Chains A and B, each alone.
Chain A
Amino acid sequence: MTGAPLATSTLERRYRAGSSHEIVAVRDVSLEISSGSFVALVGASGSGKSTLLALLGALDRPTSGTVRFGDQELSGCSDVELARLRRRMGFVFQSESLIPRLSVWENVSYPLVAQGVGGPRRRQLAESLLDRLGLASRFGALPEELSGGEQQRVAVARALVGSPEVLLADEPTSHLDVESAERTYELFREVHSQGTTVLVATHDPALVGSATRVVSLEAGRVVDDRTDA
């Protein structure tokens, strides 16, 4: 695969804080994420990693600037087109993101409902992913019955269930012990080796080490962008 599945140009996202004050969470970010790359997004807490990922994942709208996915510009997309784009991406949220009343396997397979995949097939896909992440025994549990790390892994499984072209993960290993984190890295490396573009916001040196490119953010700006051999 060639070209840039994801590209931003002079991207800016401001948040209104109070009546007059504004926070610029992301400013003047122009990035090209080439297809098949493994990018780590690093930076201090509050540097804008989550905000940037949400913009790239079509989950949030920029204040100014553009985001392109393939040859489509997000701001010009209809609701249906946006939904189609989101199906081509998998997103792992930093905070809790599971649907409370649904069991683990249902949470994992819910994105496929909107694509018309039948129950048995969904179950099967969820099962194999959960197994890979060491969660086979928590298959029918409810999110509230899971530890923080287990919830994170369920979210990873959900992001991967639709075989996305791009995986966007926001600190996916922050609650994990070394062994579980290692399983997650392995999975990431595997999907990456199968051609998926991976973009991870993380503080975890081990995960940064897996990356082929490291983008550093500081106060919403890209201050460093290194591509390793």
Chain B
Amino acid sequence: MSAFIEIARTGCTAIGRHPIRSTVTIAAVLSVLVPYLVGMGLAEGVRQEALVAIGSVDGPDATALPDLYVSGSRFGRRVPIRLAAAEQISSFEGVVRVVPRIVGRVTLGAKDIEAILVGLPQEELAEAVDGTKIGRVIDGELPTSEPGGAPQLVLGSALAGELGQQIGGVIPPILRSSRGEKTPRIVGIFRTDSSMWQSRVVLTTFETAAELFDQQGLATDLLVHCRAGQPAEVSSRIVREVGGVGDETGIGCEVISRSDLESLLPVGLGHREGVFNLVFVVAFAVAILAILVISGFGLSERRRTIGILKATGWQTDQVLLRGLVEHLLLGLIGATASILLAFVWLKWFNGFWIAGVFVSGLGTSPEIAVPFVLAPVPALLAVLIACLLVTIGSVFSTWRAAVTSPAEAMR
């Protein structure tokens, strides 16, 4: 046991004794893991943000979720839909309820922090956003709209933290409406244990949202709740009949069912992840080669050293243990540094360059705060990969040298 500790200790000190070899090895680990972690962080961030749109985070009570999402359609793209359509759809057979919703991007505060603003009718707010009673996950009050009064907002916990805001605080005007500037007041804050998307969301009434975006009579989409078994019929009727309503011509409408949306989302992201994974596999292979080459640099020296160790009474397993400790530690250092660097890259450098590679529509230097979530699974995987990478590079050559006779290894 004491031999184990003494040997492990020599393995640790070996890292400092070969500064160049160690540095190059860590650099190789970084070059693989940092892009991997950044990519994974972005994928998860984008996914979480996308889930906001369908209100399908945290496996909520499915009956409270809408069955159909109806938006306008122009040139095959989703565009806002007129509120008049809501009334029309509510009269359809099989429709229980139609809730108009506004979802939009806003910048808040002096630091121009990006957030997603969700506006729902006041009577809906009390009920649910994603199936949970909103009242249960916020501190403070639910927003109301008083005619002529200040816009009332509920901030996500992370947002509130970044803005340094508390209930009762005011933030610089989000947008200037045609009726002058409004200074929104914060009436509530989501609890920190509420779901991830809520931490970056701004919730307000439909009326306030319409006012802030200066878009009257429009909704981003309509959430349609149907009677069981009816969504398909309702959907086709909406497509058939709603398109031509109102004064605007050329606007059709697009209906997405919740199940479609949920199945589409992972596929869409999965596709990008697939491309990314391919790139990553290539990078991984290159890195293994690089590390093999690196470990080849000191090979004759290491062979000799191992020969000497064996000649002076070290067992093969002890020699291997020394190498393993050295390389696992290097892998751990590399993984830790990678996680830190990935975080810095995403947080402070806003995913410079890589966000553009990974998320379509973003340039080299994204103008929005890129969403990211560094989940524990990719982080753990990173540690595993790093240790594997580094040990694979060395274990074989160490083992080869350790099983040859000392006289030969020392030659």
Contact = CB atoms under 8 A, between A and B. Distances in A.
Given A99-B308, A114-B7, A117-B6, A59 B313 contact: no
A117 B311 CA distance: 18
A65 B311 CA distance: 21
B189 to A, nearest CB: 56
Interface string B219-240: 0000000000000000000000
A87 B17 CA distance: 25
A60 B313 contact: no
Contacts of B318: 83, 114
Given A80-B315, A111-B313, A114-B313, A60 B408 contact: yes
Nearest to B316: A79
Contacts of A83: 310, 313-316, 318
Contact of B311 (A57, A101, A118): A57
Interface of B: 1-7, 9-10, 14, 17-18, 301, 305, 308-318, 405-408, 410
A114 B315 contact: yes
Nearest to A110: B312
A101 B313 contact: no
Interface in A55-109: 57, 59-61, 79-80, 83-84, 86-87, 91, 93, 97-102
Nearest to A122: B6
Contacts of A91: 311-312
* Residue of A60, A87, A101, A114 with highest tally of chain B CB at under 10 A: A114
Contacts, number: 82
Contacts of B405: 59-61
Nearest to A57: B311
Interface in A146-160: 158
B2 A110 contact: no
Given A84-B313, A100-B305, A113-B6, 5 more contacts: A83-B313, A87-B313, A116-B3, A118-B2, A158-B312
21 contacts: A57-B311, A59-B406, A59-B407, A60-B405, A60-B408, A86-B310, A87-B313, A93-B311, A99-B305, A101-B14, A110-B10, A110-B309, A110-B312, A113-B3, A113-B6, A114-B309, A114-B312, A116-B2, A116-B5, A116-B6, A117-B6
A225 to B, nearest CB: 24
A37 to B, nearest CB: 23
A54 B407 contact: yes
Interface of A: 54, 57, 59-61, 79-80, 83-84, 86-87, 91, 93, 97-102, 110-111, 113-119, 158, 162
A87 B2 CA distance: 17
A61 B408 CA distance: 10
A91 B305 CA distance: 15
Contacts of A87: 312-313
Taking chain A's interface residues, is the majority helix, strand, or loop, or is none over half, making it mixed? Answer: loop
Given A99-B305, A100-B301, A102-B17, A115 B407 contact: no
Contacts of B313: 83-84, 86-87, 111, 114-115, 162
A97 B301 contact: no
Given A102-B17, A116-B1, A116-B2, A111 B407 contact: no
A59 B402 CA distance: 12
Nearest to A112: B6
Contacts of B407: 54, 59-60
Contact of B312 (A101, A111, A117, A119): A111
Contacts of B315: 79-80, 83, 114
Contact of A118 (B1, B6, B301, B310): B6
Contacts of B314: 83, 111, 113-114
Which of A84, A91, A99: most chain B CB closer than 10 A? A99
A148 B313 CA distance: 24
A91 B410 CA distance: 13
Nearest to A102: B17
Contacts of B9: 119
Contact of A97 (B1, B3, B6, B410): B410
A110 B11 CA distance: 12
* Candidate in A110, A113, A115, A116 with the most chain B CB atoms within 10 angstroms: A113
B316 to A, nearest CB: 5
A167 B86 CA distance: 98
Contacts of A162: 313
Contacts of B408: 60
Nearest to A51: B407
A80 B312 CA distance: 13
A30 B6 CA distance: 40
B18 A101 contact: yes
For the complex of A and B, list the 3 residue pairs with the smallest distance between their C-beta atoms, beginning with the closest.
Answer: A116-B3, A116-B2, A87-B313
Contacts of B310: 83, 86
A54 B2 CA distance: 30
Nearest to B2: A116
A97 B309 CA distance: 10
A110 B3 CA distance: 12
B17 A113 contact: no
Contacts of A80: 315
Contacts of A114: 3, 6-7, 309, 312-315, 318
A114 B319 CA distance: 9
A111 B301 CA distance: 18
A93 B3 contact: no
Nearest to A53: B407
A83 B315 CA distance: 5
A152 to B, nearest CB: 15
A116 B308 CA distance: 18
B111 to A, nearest CB: 50
Contacts of B10: 110, 113
Contacts of B301: 100
